Structure 1
């Protein structure tokens, strides 16, 4: 039982890490959009 719990926990941890990284990159790109628009306009 212990082994399956560890496997399940590490899987869910990996999944949440991936989601976190994806969220961070989305936020970073969204953060860059206004700057790029200003460059295009300016």
Structure 2
């Protein structure tokens, strides 16, 4: 992954809520390691 020029995304409340919902779905029923999603931005 090319990380040059990337920075953490500044998510609004709706985007953050959607990201957290996806995390909940991905981790439902999992035991052990938890999946954590991060959001980055970069110029295209």
TM over 0.5: no
How does the TM-score come out when normalised to structure 1? 0.42
User: Higher helix proportion, which one?
Assistant: 1
Higher relative contact order (CA 8 A, sep 6+): 2
Structure whose CA Rg is larger: 1
User: Higher strand proportion, which one?
Assistant: 2
